[in-house]
Every structure is written in structure tokens, then in C-alpha cells.
């Protein structure tokens, strides 16, 4: 699409007095409204005694209105696509399994798949899956071509910052209302600041799962990391569930669950033991297991941690996500979906899905959001229309690696990991390829880099100074990543998918930073200024 907006004109110029005042207004608003983190510490206290505001931008960042609406629209298609992938056991076994897929060379993926396969062989107690999703996009502005959106990745586990993204949008609307941003830009009008109701949207997905379980007095279990700094993002969902739906939450780590969780051998009901001082029966039945952890290998330091995960997976409680849905979010799946005919397998198979199939226009719009990508193990014939999925064979490693080496300066290499800080970029790629054992190539994909608009800036504010006035914003050239949230509740035997698009997130980072995680310190929380 063509745009009248000049990205290089952003942000508007501010005087020092204006900048200092906006910073004070923004940081005090954040501290007053729960836009918070726990401060860095080697060990977080059981009862926090202090908090800092989350990293934020002072201005919202410009984003084309039509492309924002497109991202929201295709989220519904992505919800359906990943729900159907999670229900396709044959596909996941082939692409992610430990016998012929990524799990052969990636021990973490292999452990999860093996445990899931053993549970499937015994018979899963709960056919329903719940997914809270986030699809991440960047603006793509190739030379002499219209600006469009391209997907970075699709997240299926521990999808974060839904709550704080809403708070950040409210922060920027407050700054507009209180200062009008000192009339520094005609674009800063209320109709360009979209409302974001992600807290209620994500909570509605958890509430739908709880309702489907339908046992009075049951709770939702949040599986959390020890010493979680991003606890306020999670607590806001907890409060929404209690206040709007009267649903109670219990929070436990894997270490705690190793001692507290049990599954009834006859009913498969998951119960969490607790003090009778806290609950009269001494145990709580769980309707939904919501993972805000469990996505990285270091979270399973012992075999016992996998045992706990599989105990929960084998229970009657609805999991968000199931292991199947976590595997579906793998980068290898993202790469395989770009191969000819793969989207149609899940979205246009009339024999399998009856009338619940998508039109050619809907599928094309989804496909247009893909960047080119391939597996390091892929063969040249895998990229032709008569191929169907990645497989192993002689010569494939040579082709995939050679193609990545030749195009290294325009690529990123991605493993099957979430959470930021795992990728390899540009000129670091050749030496990495030299060091990568051939047997490990199946676990990596190569993806063409998205070319974001040049010379867009913003003021970035990070906490940590001793007083508010010394938290000087840093004006930087930036890149902004749009995340669209959705949820899906689905499962056998009907393969019916109930799904929603439920809000958005904008994360902004310095132009020179390759990684994009807020929790890992690369990005700040931002919101949208819709431009035409």
C-alpha cells in the first residue's frame, strides 16, 4: 500500500521542558496503573517490597491503519490454522517428532514429543485444547514496492504482555488527553489511538475453557517461573477472571507442583494440595492449566520436571497449551507452512473439513504475510510445487546450508526456541554454519530479513534510576513489532474451533538491536498511532 505518512518525520520535536514533563507524567502514570515489573534481583522476595515501571515509549509509534486491520483480520485465520495443526498428529509426528522430525536432533523438542506420544498411546483424558496466541508482524518496506506486513513468528505458549500492552495504550491516551503532546503533530488525534482491550479478551479465552470444563469450585492453575519479574502482566488477568467471572486462580512453579499436584487414577482429575487454612478440603480441582513457563529447556533441569509436565498433560484439566499446540508453534512448522500446498492441507481440504474451509482470497492473504524461509536440511526439490514437507535425504544439508551461506547478509537463522536471544543474524551466520554439526541442521530454519521503514524514531524510557527526574528518555531510531492476540478452544471428535481475535501489542526497539524481547531487555512497550 502507498502511504502519505513520512516515517522519517517521527517523533515530533520536543523542548527539554516538554520532554521532562512528558517523562514525569508517563512514569508516574505507569507506576499508578500497574504498568510494572519487579526490579532485577538474583532472587525475588516472596513478598515484593518494590516495583519499577516497565520499559515504555513516550510517543505511540506510527503504523498504517489498513495494515493494522489486515493483521487483526488474518489473526482469525491463524487461530484456525494452528488449531488444526495441533489436531493433526501425523503432521506433528513427521515434522516435530523424535523419530523422523526435529525431535531427532533437538533434545528438548524430542523429550516433549516422546512424553506426548506415550500419553497418546495410553489415551488422553482431555480432548480439548486451549490456545492463547500472539502473531508477531513487522512492516516490510522493500525498495520501490508498497509497504506491507510480514509475520515474524506465531507464539503458542506463555504469550506475554497482553495486560501491559493495554496499559501502555491507555498511558499514551492519557498523555494525549493531559498534554495534547503540546500540539507537536497534527497526527496526534484521539481517533488515531486505537482502543486495546487485551485483558478482557485473553481472560475471555480462559473463562471459555473454565466453562467448558464445567465443575463448580474448580480453579485455573497458572504455571509460573520462579522469581517471575513480569508478574503484574499475569496478575491483571487473574483479577479480571475473579472480578468478571468469579474464577479463582492458583499460581505454582514446576518445583511446587512436583509436591502438590496429583491426578486421580480413575477420573484423571488434577488436584493441587494446599493447606486447610487456605482451602477447607485441603485440595483444589483444576479446570485449566495455563502455562506462563515451560517453553525453554532450562525450565526442565531434571527428569522430574518433565515428569511433572507429563503428569499435568495426562490429566482431565484443559491445557493452555497442550504439548501438541506447543509443538505446533515450532519454527520448523512455520517454515513448512511456506512450502507449496501446505496451507491448503489445513484450510482448504473440503473432504476433511467439510464446509468449514477458507476461500482462495483468505488463504492468499495469509500466505502474503509469509517471508521466504527454508530449513537448513531442505533439498532444492522441496521448494517446488510437487513437494509436500521437509524430509531427510542425501544432499539436502548441502543445499540448505549453501543457500543460507550465499544469502547470509539478508537472513536470520532460528532454532526451535521462544523467549528472545536465540537467533543468529547476518554476518554471524557463516561462522555459525561452520560450527553447526550436520546432524543438528534439521532443528534450524533460515528466514529472509524483513526490511522495516528507515529513520523512524521514538523516545525510549527504561526504569532503574534513583529518582524519576533522572530517567532521561533516549531518542533512538527504532523498529516496531506488532503482535495480534487471539485465542482458540478446540478438540476432537468434531474438530470444531471456537476462536477470537482479542487485542494487540506493540514492542519497539533500537534499530541496531536484532532481538526483540521486552523481558530480555531489548524492547520497550509501545502503542499504535494509526496513519494513512
User: Domain with 388 in it: what CATH number?
Assistant: 3.30.1490.50
**Catalytic site includes residue 513:** no
Q: Is 514 flagged in the annotation as binding?
A: no
What number of other Cβ atoms are within 10 A of residue 255's Cβ?
14
Q: Is 515 flagged in the annotation as binding?
A: yes
Round to whole Å and give the CA distance between 21 and 26: 9
pTM, full prediction: 0.93
Q: Is 207 flagged in the annotation as binding?
A: no
Q: Is 290 flagged in the annotation as binding?
A: no
**Catalytic site includes residue 309:** no
Asked, for residue 438, whether it belongs to a domain, the answer is yes
DSSP-assigned letters across all residues of 137-202: EEEE--TTS--EEEEEEEE-SS---HHHHHHHHHHHHHHHHHHGGGG--TT--GGGS----HHHHH
Identify the active-site residue in 150, 507, 516, 527: 507
**Catalytic site includes residue 507:** yes
pLDDT of residue 384: 53
Q: Is there a single domain that holds both residue 474 and residue 418?
A: no
Dihedral angle over CA of 155, 156, 160, 164, nearest 10: 80
Q: Is there a single domain that holds both residue 524 and residue 418?
A: no
Residue span of the structural domain in which 402 resides? 373-448
**Catalytic site includes residue 153:** yes
Q: Is 256 flagged in the annotation as binding?
A: no
Q: Is there a single domain that holds both residue 226 and residue 285?
A: yes
Q: Average pLDDT of each block of 10 consecutive residues along the chain (532 residues)? A: 81 96 96 93 80 95 97 98 97 96 96 98 97 98 93 97 98 98 97 98 98 98 95 98 98 97 98 86 95 97 98 98 98 95 94 90 96 88 50 55 94 87 92 92 94 93 59 89 98 90 96 59 88 94
Round to whole Å and give the CA distance between 325 and 526: 28
pLDDT of residue 439: 86
pLDDT of residue 392: 42
Cell of 15: 523542548
Identify the active-site residue in 57, 61, 135, 160: 160
Q: Is 422 flagged in the annotation as binding?
A: yes
The DSSP H or E segment spanning 357 is none
CB 419 within 8 A of CB 229: no
**Catalytic site includes residue 2:** no
| Chosen domain end from 448, 483, 501 | 448
Identify the active-site residue in 104, 150, 319, 331: 331
Q: Is there a single domain that holds both residue 286 and residue 421?
A: no
Identify the active-site residue in 103, 153, 313, 491: 153
Q: Is there a single domain that holds both residue 393 and residue 326?
A: no
pLDDT of residue 422: 87
pLDDT of residue 387: 42
pLDDT of residue 258: 98
Q: Is there a single domain that holds both residue 345 and residue 408?
A: no
Round to whole Å and give the CA distance between 483 and 71: 9
Round to whole Å and give the CA distance between 395 and 393: 6
Asked, for residue 1, whether it belongs to a domain, the answer is no
Q: Is 141 flagged in the annotation as binding?
A: no
Round to whole Å and give the CA distance between 442 and 374: 10
Identify the active-site residue in 414, 457, 458, 527: 414
Number of domains in the chain: 2
**Catalytic site includes residue 160:** yes
pLDDT of residue 396: 44
- Look at the block and give the residue holding cell 482431565: 316
Identify the active-site residue in 9, 235, 262, 419: 419
Q: Is there a single domain that holds both residue 425 and residue 365?
A: no
Identify the active-site residue in 134, 167, 319, 332: 134
| Chosen domain end from 448, 463, 490 | 448
Q: Is 190 flagged in the annotation as binding?
A: no
**Catalytic site includes residue 65:** no
Distances (CA, A) of 438 to 47, 101, 448, 524: 48, 15, 22, 37
Q: Is 481 flagged in the annotation as binding?
A: yes
Asked, for residue 2, whether it belongs to a domain, the answer is no
| Contacts of residue 285, Cβ cutoff 8 Å, sequence gap at least 6 | 215, 217, 218, 219, 269, 270, 271
Q: Is there a single domain that holds both residue 159 and residue 285?
A: yes
- Burial of 374-387, coded b for 16+ CB within 10 Å and e otherwise, reads bbbbbbeebeeeeb
Identify the active-site residue in 57, 79, 155, 165: 155
| Chosen domain end from 448, 474, 498 | 448
Q: Is 479 flagged in the annotation as binding?
A: no
CB 442 within 8 A of CB 375: yes
Q: Is there a single domain that holds both residue 229 and residue 343?
A: yes
Q: Is there a single domain that holds both residue 27 and residue 62?
A: yes
pLDDT of residue 282: 87
Q: Is there a single domain that holds both residue 379 and residue 479?
A: no
**Catalytic site includes residue 419:** yes
Residue 11: cis peptide before it, omega within 30 degrees of 0: yes
Q: Is there a single domain that holds both residue 336 and residue 392?
A: no
Q: Is 421 flagged in the annotation as binding?
A: yes
pLDDT of residue 57: 97
DSSP-assigned letters across all residues of 397-446: HHHHHHHHHHTGGGEEEE-S--SSS--EEGGGHHHHHHHS-GGGGGG-EE
Amino acid at each position: 500500500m502507498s502511504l502519505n505518512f513520512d516515517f522519517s518525520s517521527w517523533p515530533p520535536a520536543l523542548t527539554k521542558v516538554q520532554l521532562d514533563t512528558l517523562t514525569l507524567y508517563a512514569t508516574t502514570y505507569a507506576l499508578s496503573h500497574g504498568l510494572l515489573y519487579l526490579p532485577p534481583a538474583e532472587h525475588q522476595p516472596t513478598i515484593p517490597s518494590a516495583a519499577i515501571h516497565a520499559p515504555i515509549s513516550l510517543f505511540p509509534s506510527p503504523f498504517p491503519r489498513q495494515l493494522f486491520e489486515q493483521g487483526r483480520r488474518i489473526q482469525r485465520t491463524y487461530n484456525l490454522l494452528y488449531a488444526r495443526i495441533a489436531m493433526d498428529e501425523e503432521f506433528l509426528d513427521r515434522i516435530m517428532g523424535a523419530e523422523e522430525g526435529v525431535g531427532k536432533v533437538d533434545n528438548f523438542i524430542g523429550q516433549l514429543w516422546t512424553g506426548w506420544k506415550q500419553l497418546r498411546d495410553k489415551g488422553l483424558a482431555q480432548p480439548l485444547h486451549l490456545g492463547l496466541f500472539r502473531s508477531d508482524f513487522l512492516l516490510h518496506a522493500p525498495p520501490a514496492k508498497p509497504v506491507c506486513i510480514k509475520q515474524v513468528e506465531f507464539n503458542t505458549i506463555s504469550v506475554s504482555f497482553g495486560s501491559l500492552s493495554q496499559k501502555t495504550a491507555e498511558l499514551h491516551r492519557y498523555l494525549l488527553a493531559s498534554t495534547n503532546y503540546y500540539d507537536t503533530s497534527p497526527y496526534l488525534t484521539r481517533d488515531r489511538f486505537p482502543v486495546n482491550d487485551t485483558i478482557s479478551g485473553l481472560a475471555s479465552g480462559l473463562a471459555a475453557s473454565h466453562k467448558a470444563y464445567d465443575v463448580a469450585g474448580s480453579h485455573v492453575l497458572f504455571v509460573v517461573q520462579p522469581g517471575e519479574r513480569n508478574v503484574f502482566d499475569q496478575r491483571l488477568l487473574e483479577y479480571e477472571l475473579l472480578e468478571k467471572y468469579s474464577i479463582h486462580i492458583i499460581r505454582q512453579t514446576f518445583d511446587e507442583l512436583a509436591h502438590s499436584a496429583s491426578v486421580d487414577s480413575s477420573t484423571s482429575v488434577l488436584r493441587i494440595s494446599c493447606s486447610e487454612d487456605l482451602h477447607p478440603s485441603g485440595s483444589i480441582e483444576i479446570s485449566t492449566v495455563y502455562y506462563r513457563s515451560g517453553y525453554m529447556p532450562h525450565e526442565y533441569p531434571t527428569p522430574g520436571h518433565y515428569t511433572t509436565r507429563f503428569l499435568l498433560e495426562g490429566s482431565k484439566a484443559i491445557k493452555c497449551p497442550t504439548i501438541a499446540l506447543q509443538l505446533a508453534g515450532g519454527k520448523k512448522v512455520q517454515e513448512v507452512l511456506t512450502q507449496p500446498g501446505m496451507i491448503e492441507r489445513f484450510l482448504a481440504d473440503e473432504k476433511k473439513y467439510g464446509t468449514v474451509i477458507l476461500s482462495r482470497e483468505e488463504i492468499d492473504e495469509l500466505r502474503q504475510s509469509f517471508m521466504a524461509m527454508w530449513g537448513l536440511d531442505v533439498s532444492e526439490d522441496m521448494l517446488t510445487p510437487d513437494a509436500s514437507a521437509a524430509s531427510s535425504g542425501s544432499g539436502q544439508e548441502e543445499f540448505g546450508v549453501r543457500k543460507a551461506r550465499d544469502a547470509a547478509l539478508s537472513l536470520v537463522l532460528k532454532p526451535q526456541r521462544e523467549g528472545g536471544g536465540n537467533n543468529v543474524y547476518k554476518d554471524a551466520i557463516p561462522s555459525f554454519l561452520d560450527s553447526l554439526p550436520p546432524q543438528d541442521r534439521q532443528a534450524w530454519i533460515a528466514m529472509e530479513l524483513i526490511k522495516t521503514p528507515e529513520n523512524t524514531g521514538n523516545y525510549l524510557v527504561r526504569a532503574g534510576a534513583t529518582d524519576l527526574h533522572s530517567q532521561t528518555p533516549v531518542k533512538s531510531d527504532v523498529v516496531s513489532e506488532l503482535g495480534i492476540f487471539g485465542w482458540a478452544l478446540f478438540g476432537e471428535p468434531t474438530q470444531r474451533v471456537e476462536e477470537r481475535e482479542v487485542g494487540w501489542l506493540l514492542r519497539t526497539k533500537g534499530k541496531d538491536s536484532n532481538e526483540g524481547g521486552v523481558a530480555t531487555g531489548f524492547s520497550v512497550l509501545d502503542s499504535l498511532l494509526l496513519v494513512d
